[in-house]
């Protein structure tokens, strides 16, 4: 008797696998009875979707997803993953480039300093700071920067040109074997076009000195080459044509700030690709340089006393400059009929020179508290992914093997006291080499027409070598290894609906300087500083549902939790370790994307979460600045006799600013409006209005001690505890004229 005839038995065999991951076993034990019931239910009352894993399949099949209108029933491993396409990106008013990340349901992107600095990100109960606990990739190249001068996992997206992005793939949670460091809250992978739908010449002007010019083109060689032969000419199509894509963007913005921000940037991209999805390669070169001045958060007390305007600045000499140049080479092909291999090589040069003053005159009443953070590095890496389709006892199986190698040569990372950008005291200067090797394996099995699993494990070995270039004691070597098992179980589809149960382990790195530190560089005469582990383990689980039972409506709901062994971080602003207890986060997310007519799209995404310390904390159980509620909703009318209309609502709920639940930030509710008209296939015009109601709101807020220049010493270490906030930008209008040809 064939084993495959007892399909319910395969599920019973899988149940003990829950015990390979204690977090899944603990969180999902209550669901075991449900799983047994589901196991005994035959695939009824619904048509199972072809997943590409049918038992007769002998070749890898690729599901092409171009946006949120495409159904992921039958292919997704969780309710929290998806794809956003260029159509959704181009129809969305975007105030700053980093807001591309807000296409991920539940994420909020803000800014607390100059526009050229990396944004602040919030998701799933995290203040992700500038990227910690959320991994970002562009063409599989990691963008997060570990052991960074300003913040661990620093993610600066200002180098991106939105019109060149074909898709943004995202996944929330730590259930994916292909991503490791910083991916506990989730990840995105942005992919460029090989060939643009049309060439673009575009210019945008707006209030507050906003100017942008973009030129982008693509050309496929040899499609209709005319060649001479015996004195005649004929068309000879190229068998395997290559495509060249190029783009250059110039940008300037002053913003509503006083003094003007004067953020200016130059970006370019050149990409050559050739081949098909089964066999091909690409070579991409892109670069960015930007500089800006001023614009930091301000103390609420100074604003209420009319000592500073809403868009003023306590230290106009703040600001910085940054550069990034990247080279990416990618090849993919079939080594055998039933396998697919992809290899990515990358190298990038990055630098940042950042000047900030968050406490004004608290520590130095004469020169002020401005400090410089400098980071110059060269990053290189390799990613290899090999997938094999097999047939086990009549079951379709895909085994995936991968290897990721990365080296960060941070040849200059420094922290200095400055006055109007002039250094008067060196606090620390180091060079760091951070090397990692990360193999992983993943197994996908289609057990029945209504049940499949994705089980994997990855290992991450990290080694950090820190050299104190000032001759101090803060140097040494730190090494750590973690294994992270992951498991996804997918039930269905029934009635165009799937149920997901996911769990696993993940981690984020700490700054290598924090793992080797001996002395606090900010303490007068030195002072002991505790070390932190190089790798911090995290674990989480999720139960979710995805349905398309209502025609043209894509809906997901997920309940999740995430536990972290510690909130230990290295604070680049002080050069010291900040020690916090273990933590627990949990929440619910609901996402809806509805296209009842070809010209109408409605989306409504809601997320609510809580974050608490999971161990005793003397000041209270609440995690400061953790996001609580997020709403992203919008109505889009498009392709209606040339007209386009978009109205978006962006809600960022109040956050606990202190762990004793005593001080809160205000909620932020903003509306964006777009109105556009396409005159003909070539020419179009668009009007974007940001902060439509001109709402005075806090884009972001903190609570800490500071001291203004003419304030007497305060009771709290010479300062005054206060809400320090960065205002949302005032209402502004931008006009864009586009030619596509």
pLDDT digits (tens, 9 = 90+) for 248-276: 999 999 999 999 999 999 999 999 999 98
Specify the 3-state DSSP secondary structure of 501: strand
Name the pLDDT band for 734 (thresholds 50, 70, 90): very high
DSSP string across 369-405: S-EEEEEEEEEEEEEEEEEEEEEETTEEEEEEEEEEE
Tokens of 289: 């340089």
Range scoring the smallest mean pLDDT among 27-36, 225-234, 456-465, 504-513? 27-36
pLDDT of residue 71: 84
Range scoring the smallest mean pLDDT among 185-189, 229-233, 403-407? 229-233
Specify the 3-state DSSP secondary structure of 421: coil
Quick one: how far is CA 243 from the chain centroid? Answer: 28
Tens of pLDDT, residue by residue over 623-645, are 999 999 999 999 999 989 999 99
Tens of pLDDT, residue by residue over 516-538, are 988 877 665 566 777 889 999 99
Count of helix runs (H) and strand runs (E) in the chain: 6, 37
- Rounded percentage of the chain residues whose pLDDT exceeds 90: 77
Specify the 3-state DSSP secondary structure of 514: helix
Name the pLDDT band for 32 (thresholds 50, 70, 90): very low
Residue 696 in this model has a pLDDT that exceeds 50: yes
- Tell which residue, 386, 477, 359, 391, has the closest CA to residue 440: 386
Specify the 3-state DSSP secondary structure of 89: helix
If phi > 0 it is left, if psi is from -120 to 50 it is alpha, else beta; for residue 679 that is: alpha
pLDDT of residue 523: 62
CATH code for residues 3-740:
2.40.170.20
Mean pLDDT of the chain: 87
Residue 136 in this model has a pLDDT that exceeds 90: yes
Specify the 3-state DSSP secondary structure of 686: strand
Residue 134 in this model has a pLDDT that exceeds 80: yes
Residue 709 in this model has a pLDDT that exceeds 60: yes
Decide: 457 and 440 in contact? Cβ < 8 Å. yes
pLDDT of residue 69: 79
Close Cβ partners of 42 (under 8 Å, ≥ 6 residues apart): none
Residue 611 in this model has a pLDDT that exceeds 50: yes
Residue 138 in this model has a pLDDT that exceeds 80: yes
Residue 25 in this model has a pLDDT that exceeds 50: no
Name the pLDDT band for 716 (thresholds 50, 70, 90): low
Residue 51 in this model has a pLDDT that exceeds 90: no
pLDDT of residue 61: 52
Decide: 27 and 503 in contact? Cβ < 8 Å. yes
Mean pLDDT of 170-187: 95
Close Cβ partners of 436 (under 8 Å, ≥ 6 residues apart): 181, 404, 405, 406, 407, 460, 461, 462, 463
Range scoring the smallest mean pLDDT among 109-113, 485-489, 591-595? 109-113
Residue 289 in this model has a pLDDT that exceeds 70: yes
Tens of pLDDT, residue by residue over 222-250, are 755 444 444 444 444 444 689 999 999 99
C-alpha span between 450 and 572 (Å, rounded): 49
C-alpha span between 210 and 732 (Å, rounded): 10
pLDDT of residue 342: 97
Tens of pLDDT, residue by residue over 323-334, are 999 999 999 999
pLDDT of residue 520: 74
Residue 335 in this model has a pLDDT that exceeds 50: yes
Q: What is the CA radius of gyration of the chain?
A: 26
Mean pLDDT of 601-629: 93
pLDDT of residue 1: 32
Close Cβ partners of 680 (under 8 Å, ≥ 6 residues apart): none
pLDDT of residue 677: 96
């Amino acid at each position: 008797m064939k084993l495959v005839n007892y399909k319910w038995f395969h599920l019973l065999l899988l149940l003990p696998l829950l015990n390979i991951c204690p977090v899944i076993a603990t969180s999902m034990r209550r669901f075991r009875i449900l799983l047994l019931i589901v196991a005994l239910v035959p695939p009824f009352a619904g048509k199972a979707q072809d997943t590409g894993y049918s038992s007769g399949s002998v070749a890898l099949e690729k599901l092409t997803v171009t946006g949120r209108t495409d159904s992921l029933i039958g292919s997704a491993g969780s309710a929290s993953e998806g794809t956003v396409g260029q159509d959704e990106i181009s129809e969305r008013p975007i105030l700053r480039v980093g807001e591309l990340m807000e296409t991920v349901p539940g994420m909020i992107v803000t800014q607390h300093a100059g526009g050229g600095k990396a944004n602040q990100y919030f998701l799933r109960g995290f203040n992700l700071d500038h990227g910690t606990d959320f991994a970002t990739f562009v063409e599989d190249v990691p963008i997060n920067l570990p052991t960074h001068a300003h913040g661990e996992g620093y993610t600066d997206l200002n180098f991106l040109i939105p019109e060149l992005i074909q898709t943004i793939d995202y996944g929330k949670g730590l259930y994916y074997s292909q991503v490791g460091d910083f991916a506990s809250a989730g990840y995105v992978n942005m992919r460029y076009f090989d060939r643009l739908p049309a060439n673009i010449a575009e210019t945008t002007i707006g209030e507050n000195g906003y100017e942008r010019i973009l030129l982008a083109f693509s050309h496929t060689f040899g499609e209709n080459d005319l060649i001479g032969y015996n004195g005649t000419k004929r068309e000879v199509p190229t068998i395997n044509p290559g495509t060249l894509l190029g783009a250059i963007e110039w940008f300037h913005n002053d913003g509503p700030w006083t003094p003007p921000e004067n953020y200016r940037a130059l970006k370019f991209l050149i990409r050559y690709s050739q081949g098909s999805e089964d066999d091909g390669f690409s070579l991409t070169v892109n670069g960015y340089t930007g500089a800006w001045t001023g614009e930091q958060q301000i103390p609420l007390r100074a604003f209420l006393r009319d000592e500073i305007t809403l868009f003023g600045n306590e230290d106009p000499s703040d600001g910085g400059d940054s550069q990034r140049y990247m080279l990416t080479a990618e090849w993919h092909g079939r080594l055998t009929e039933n396998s697919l291999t992809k290899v990515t090589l990358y190298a990038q040069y990055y630098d940042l020179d950042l000047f900030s003053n968050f406490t004004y005159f608290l520590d130095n009443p004469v020169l002020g508290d401005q400090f410089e953070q400098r980071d110059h590095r060269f990053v290189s890496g390799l990613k290899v992914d090999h997938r094999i389709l097999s047939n086990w006892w009549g079951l379709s199986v895909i085994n995936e093997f991968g290897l990721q190698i990365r080296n960060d040569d941070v040849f200059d990372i420094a922290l200095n006291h400055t006055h109007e950008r002039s250094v008067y005291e060196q606090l620390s200067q180091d060079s760091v080499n951070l090397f990692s090797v990360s193999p992983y394996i993943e197994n996908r099995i289609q057990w029945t027409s209504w049940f499949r699993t994705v089980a994997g494990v990855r290992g991450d070995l990290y080694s950090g070598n820190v050299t104190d270039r000032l001759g101090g004691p803060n140097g040494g070597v730190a090494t750590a290894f973690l294994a992270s098992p992951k498991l996804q179980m997918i039930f269905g589809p029934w009635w165009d609906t799937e149920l997901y149960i996911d769990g696993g382990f993940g981690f984020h790195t700490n700054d290598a300087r924090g793992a080797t530190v001996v002395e606090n560089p900010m303490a007068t005469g030195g002072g002991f500083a505790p070390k932190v582990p190089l790798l911090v383990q995290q674990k989480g689980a999720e139960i979710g549902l995805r349905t398309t039972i209502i025609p043209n409506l894509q809906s997901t709901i997920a309940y999740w939790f995430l536990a972290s062994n510690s909130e230990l971080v290295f604070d680049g602003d002080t050069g010291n370790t900040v020690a916090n207890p273990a933590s627990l986060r949990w929440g619910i997310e609901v996402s809806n994307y509805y296209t009842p007519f070809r010209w109408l799209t409605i989306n409504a995404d809601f997320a609510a979460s809580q974050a608490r310390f999971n161990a005793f904390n003397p000041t209270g159980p609440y995690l400061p600045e953790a996001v609580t509620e997020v709403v992203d909703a919008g109505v889009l009318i498009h392709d209606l006799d040339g007209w386009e209309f978009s109205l978006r609502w962006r809600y960022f709920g109040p956050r606990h600013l202190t762990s004793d639940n005593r001080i809160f930030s205000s909620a932020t509710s903003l509306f964006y409006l777009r109105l556009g008209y396409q005159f003909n296939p070539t020419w179009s015009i668009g009007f974007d209005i940001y902060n439509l109601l001109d709402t005075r709101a806090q884009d972001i807020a903190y609570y800490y001690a500071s001291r203004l220049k003419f304030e007497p010493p305060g009771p709290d270490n010479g300062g005054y505890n206060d809400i320090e906030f960065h205002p949302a930008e005032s209402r502004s209008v931008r006009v864009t004229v586009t030619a596509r040809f």
